[in-house]
Amino acid sequence: MGVLTTWRVPCATGGEEYTCRMKLTIARVENAAVFQVGGKVGWENSRLLDREVRDTIKSGARFLVFDLDAVQFLSSGAIGVLVYHLRKLQDVVGDIFVVTSNNYVLYLFRTIGFHRVFEGKIFATLEGVGECLRARGETWAVPGPGAWNQVEGFDGDDDERSLLEEDG
């Protein structure tokens, strides 16, 4: 499962537009799932992310890992998805972890206080998450190359469309 969405940004050379893609790929490993997120997660993409997270939890995953190293933008909706499902999973003895060394994500988390919400849950590598889970008595294995699935989403001007709807 994964989501692929496009958006346009000004080109640094001459003001032309080019297409960038948000990429979401998901791998299941026993009672855990790893979400690799790249690019821009705007409002519409947050809805897609939420749907994928809900479906993954319904299928039995108790531990979700979000690899945010390739993220260029996270909307408030995307952050809301993480926090909402963190609380829901903690109610059923599950958890959410973040893997990132992305300066943008780390700065964003510190700025809005989420470094405290995710305290002890942010790691530089998947192996760090594995050590944490094994210390809790849980099993963990880094997903192999064949475990990753990509869900095709929509192509569109994610935030531009949302802003147009709001301005109505």
24-66 pLDDT, tens per residue? Answer: 999 998 899 999 998 888 888 899 999 999 999 999 999 999 9
State residue 97's pLDDT score.
97
Report the pLDDT averaged over residues 156-163: 47
The enclosing domain of 63 has a CATH number of 3.30.750.24
Report the pLDDT averaged over residues 68-73: 92
Give the chain's mean pLDDT.
82
114 vs 165, higher pLDDT: 114
- The total of structural domains in the chain comes to 1
Give the chain as a DSSP string: -EEEEEEEEE-TTTS-EEEEEEEEEEEEETTEEEEEEEEEE-HHHHHHHHHHHHHHHHTT--EEEEEEEEEEEE-HHHHHHHHHHHHHHHHTT-EEEEE---HHHHHHHHHTTHHHHTTT-EESSHHHHHHHHHHTT----PPPGGGEEE-----S-HHHHHHHHHH-
Full residue range of the structural domain in which residue 28 is found? 2-167
